[in-house]
Amino acid sequence: MTTALRNTGIEPVGEMPWGTHFCHFYETKDDLLETLLSFFKVGLEAGEFCAWVVSEPLTEEEVWQALDRAVPGLGRYVADQSIEVLKARDVYLAGGEINLHRIISNWSAKLERALSRGYQGIRVSGNTAWLEQKQWRDFMEYETELNRGIGDQPMLVLCTYPLTTCGATEFLDVAGTHQFAVAKRRGRWEVVETPQLTQAKAEIARLNQDLEQRVLERTTELEAAIGDQKRASEALQEAQKALAHVTRLTTISELTASLAHEVNQPLAAIEANATASLCWLDHTPPALDEARQGMQLVIRDAQRAGDVIAHARALVKKSGGEKSLVGVDQMIREVLSLVQPEVQKHAVVVEEALADGLPPVLGDRVRLQQLVLNLIMNGIDAMAEVTSRPRRMLISCERDQGEDGGPGILVAVRDAGVGAAADDLEKLFDPFFTTKRDGLGMGLSIGRSIAEAHGGRLWASRNADHGLTFHLLVPETSNHGLTPSPQ
């Protein structure tokens, strides 16, 4: 199956590989219609076969009318049967019950026919507003089976769920049977969960290999003929940015299970406090003070879940190189809050020595976060097999001087891991050199490039007892009318 990315037509999702199975929580009929029109419009224009499975609040007639308004030349797609609109109950409840093998077999047959007719693949969306509680478990089994089998197929599947009927339990069920989820509430998009299932990781690995090969081939070409230094430099930078983004996704995928755990805790608290608040309101007379306190706790936990998701999204998104004033000490604390579940999982004791009153640096916040995240994760990995001594990590941040004598901010990440031979210290920063069994060998190479792009340095030293310390020095900057980057 080709690994070419497909445009989903959905703003926060962007491009995804074939084999993607994700869900959309919608609040209003207009949100649902707007999202699906964009989803199918780009699919038709990309030469894909499209199947739209509808149920309330939309009717077949409304869907066709909306498509006619949104898709130029719809008549041509209808004439060559590139799109069909199906009723949800006909698709999922033929015979009066949900038979996952029958449903998946029917999708496989549609895919086979579409490919034989020359389509790139098929794009499917099904709405679940018709589902009753008694059918929920059977439908979740179908979603799970579909999620397992779609990874190596040229299919793009978007399932839509109304927020009005999804409680915390249903939300967790749906999130667990899809690669990721998005929601649109009051006109704003929110990413509910990041990609993490096996097929997504496999796609990332394949993209890694492809990008690595492209970097090597492009470098060879440029070394053989460098007639245009500027163009060569720009091409290498673009390839490195793409590889840096994939490396960041790979690191985040390792943390996804921990992130899901962090999100699930406030979700469970939200459900418990909301239930308690309803009980207080049912009292005679209603216990308004207690109910109000319960709802304040709901708001607090919702903000907590949102903070976890916001930090993850900031690291996953592509960075365009925008620079702003960055408080390094605060940025380090944000990364530490993100990796806290991984720290606990590996029984690592993290000590902080972050100086007060440090001036900001002028930099790309996302890329600096990626660099620090990679150093911390490397330190955790280096101590994974240590059992004879405490797994301690010291993270410090202080003022120092650069090689040119100018002031700078020095970050140090010290671990108590297996360390490295003296001869290997510089090799650690070479592309494709790695001491990890499944490592790409690009994290530290990219990290050094990020440091140098900020006018700084990244190097490693051996500790006197055990492990390594990685040092990052970035020049200070004075505030020339700039404002700190958003959190």
Q: What does the pLDDT look like over 27-42, one tens digit per residue?
A: 889 989 999 999 999 9
**β-pair type (407-414, 457-462):** unpaired
Mean pLDDT over residues 133-147, rounded? 91
User: Helix H segments across 225-287?
Assistant: 229-282
Percent of the chain with pLDDT over 90: 38
CATH number of 324-475: 3.30.565.10
* Fold matches, 5-193 and 324-475: no
Residue 333 sits at φ, ψ, to 5 deg, of: -65, -35
Question: What does the pLDDT read at residue 75?
Answer: 94
In sequence order, the β-bridge partners of residue 23 are: 159, 181
Beta-strand relationship, 349-354 and 361-363:
unpaired
- Whole-angstrom distance, CA of residue 158 vs CA of residue 317: 21
In CATH terms, 5-193 corresponds, of 3.30.470.20, 3.40.50.300, 3.30.530.20, 3.40.50.10140, to 3.40.50.300
Which of the residue ranges 53-67, 86-100, 224-238, 407-421 would you say has the lowest mean pLDDT? 224-238
State pLDDT tens for residues 405-414.
788 999 999 9
Mean pLDDT of 217-231: 68
Tell me how far apart the alpha carbons of residues 207 and 225 are, in angstroms, rounded to a whole number.
27
Assigned token pair, 297: 């706790």
Q: Which of 125-129, 154-158, 233-237, 329-333 has the lowest mean pLDDT?
A: 233-237
Mean pLDDT of the 110-138 span: 94
Domain boundaries defined on the chain: 5-193, 202-316, 324-475
236, pLDDT greater than 80: no
Specify the pLDDT at position 225.
Answer: 61
Cβ atoms of residues 193 and 175 within 8 Å: yes
The answer to whether the beta carbons of residues 243 and 446 sit under 8 Å apart is yes
The two structure tokens encoding residue 100: 């996952």
Specify whether the CB–CB gap between 474 and 455 falls below 8 A: yes
Residues 6+ apart with CB under 8 A from 24: 10, 32, 35, 158, 159, 160, 161, 181, 182, 183, 184
In the DSSP assignment, the letter for residue 165 is G
Confidence (pLDDT) at 383: 92
Q: Which helix (H) or strand (E) holds 205?
A: helix 198-224
The helix (H) or strand (E) run that includes residue 95 is none
Q: pTM for the complete prediction?
A: 0.45
pLDDT at 345 over 90: no
Check if the beta carbon of residue 335 is closer than 8 Å to that of residue 365.
Answer: no
Q: Which residue has the higher pLDDT, 325 or 212?
A: 325
**Average pLDDT over every residue of 243-260:** 55
User: What HEC string does 359-420 produce?
Assistant: CCEEECHHHHHHHHHHHHHHHHHHCCCCCCCCCEEEEEEEEEECCCCCEEEEEEEECCCCCC
Q: For the segment 59-70, what is each residue's pLDDT rounded down to a tens digit?
A: 999 999 999 999
Pick the range with the lowest mean pLDDT from 120-124, 137-141, 345-349, 433-437.
433-437
Sequence length of the chain is 487
Which carries the bigger pLDDT value, residue 252 or residue 65?
Answer: 65
CA distance 341 to 57: 40
Q: In the prediction, which pLDDT does 481 show?
A: 43
pLDDT interval class at 243 (50, 70, 90): low
Q: Is the pLDDT of residue 197 over 50?
A: no
Spacing of C-alpha 184 from chain mean position: 17
| pLDDT > 50? residue 386 | yes
